[in-house]
Amino acid sequence: MLQLIEMKGENLIGVFKDAGAEIVKRLSKHKSVVGALFTGGIVRGFADKYSDVDVMIFLDHEDASVRSSVRLLAGEIDARFSLETDIEVHVLDEYIQQDWGEYLKWDLSNGMVVFDRHGGLSELLKEKLAVAEEEWQLRIAKSMIYISWYCFPEKEHVPSMIDLWSDRGDSASAQYAVVYTLESIVELLYTLNRSFLPAPKWRIYNISQLTWLPKNHVDALRDAMLIREISVEDARRRARALAPIWHEMLNRIHEEFGMDFQVATSLYLGKVLHLPPK
């Protein structure tokens, strides 16, 4: 698959897997340890000198001996494999009850269960991470509204933010309107795949892992990222680069989610602004 970027540097994934396996092997000897999950580079399949060995350990009850072992083991693994480790320890029942942020949800939804003493850990995480279809629709609605405001108005006679800032003589703000649109389109690509949003540093890298993507999205995103000069003309060029994939995304929204701008506007007014229906 064509990617926006080609990774350089030495891929240390083999070493990372060995280190992760050693961590799980050692800690799973504690009877209180009921599960272990890999996240980060081990799961992505690419890990370099800037990556951490990310492991989550789950307990059936608080156990100071496990936390003590983690501190000792982390130093040993760091020295033995010349890697940085990030070992989190949680009491499973308490952790499941917590409110998880978007980035953590993405990590956990892409995590790999590598130890499950009693079975059912994967299903437990899946249930916690379940998202109602209405929530995906609301995310789509917000993105549609913002993208239409900033760059691609639904109706031809309505000016975009690029037009407004052009009339005001502020080319920098016109360019930023495209920056915001680009960010919103990237977020929407994840939503259209019913995926949580990764942390900003991973959003471009992980796009290629999404199941559905518009045709020629690589060229479109590359052209839109490139700012040649701070001018309204260049802002319009970048917007034109995004237009084809935006229209393809609108078709996908209609086919997959049964939504158009009328539905999106109704959801936005009712669920975001909490205004009564007209």
Domain ranges of the chain: 13-128, 133-272
Convert 52-86 into a string of H (helix), E (strand) and C (coil).
Answer: EEEEEEEECCCCHHHHHHHHHHHHHHHHHHCCEEE
Quote the pLDDT of residue 1.
Answer: 43
The predicted model scores a pTM of: 0.93
CATH superfamily of this structure's domain 13-128? Beta Polymerase, domain 2 (3.30.460.10)
* Alpha-carbon distance values, 259 to 38, 57, 248, 251, 253 (Å): 36, 41, 14, 9, 6
What lies within 8 Å, CB to CB, of 211 at 6+ separation is: 193
User: Which pair of tokens denotes residue 137?
Assistant: 């629709």
Quote the pLDDT of residue 237.
Answer: 99
89: helix, coil or strand?
A: strand
User: Quick check: 6 and 82 in contact, CB under 8 A?
Assistant: no
Question: What pLDDT tens digit does each residue of the chain (278 aa) get?
Answer: 446 667 788 999 999 999 999 999 999 999 999 999 999 999 999 999 999 999 999 999 999 999 999 999 999 999 999 999 999 999 999 999 999 999 999 999 999 999 999 999 999 999 999 999 999 999 999 999 999 999 999 998 999 999 999 999 999 999 999 999 999 999 999 999 999 999 999 999 999 999 999 999 999 999 999 999 999 999 999 999 999 999 999 999 999 999 999 999 999 999 988 887 66
